[in-house]
């Protein structure tokens, strides 16, 4: 897990979405049509796609409930694998 986490954080950083994944870049206030919210949703989508793209399909069951929640995905994977040494 530690190697996967390190590489995935680096890829998220490269794509400018690490703050979204770690819950530091929160959705701004406003309607879905505001520029700020649209920009954040785009970053959220890149973040979720980055995490999913770096997983083996056998891991998808752990994150299916977090399709639009990269923070939830990240935390679930951490809870599931950090102590197991994956």
Does residue 86 belong to any structural domain of this protein?
no
Containing structural domain, residue 19 = 2-81
Beta-carbon contacts of residue 78 (< 8 Å; ≥ 6 apart): 1, 5
Rounded to two decimals, what is the model's pTM?
0.89
CB contact burial 26-37 (16+ within 10 A = b; e otherwise): eeeeeeeeeeee
Summarize pLDDT for 14-39 with one digit per residue, the tens.
999 999 999 999 999 999 999 999 99
80 burial (CB, 10 Å; 0-12 / 13-18 / 19+) is middle
Beta-carbon contacts of residue 11 (< 8 Å; ≥ 6 apart): 50, 54
Domains: count for the chain? 1
Summarize pLDDT for 55-72 with one digit per residue, the tens.
999 999 999 999 999 999
């Amino acid at each position: 897990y530690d190697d996967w986490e390190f590489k995935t954080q680096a890829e998220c950083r490269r794509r400018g979405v690490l703050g979204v994944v770690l819950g530091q870049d929160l959705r701004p206030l406003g309607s879905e049509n505001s520029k700020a919210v649209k920009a954040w949703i785009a970053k959220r989508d890149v973040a979720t796609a980055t995490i999913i793209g770096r997983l083996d399909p056998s891991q998808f069951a752990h994150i299916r409930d977090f399709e639009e929640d990269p923070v939830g995905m990240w935390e679930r994977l951490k809870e599931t694998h950090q102590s197991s040494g994956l």
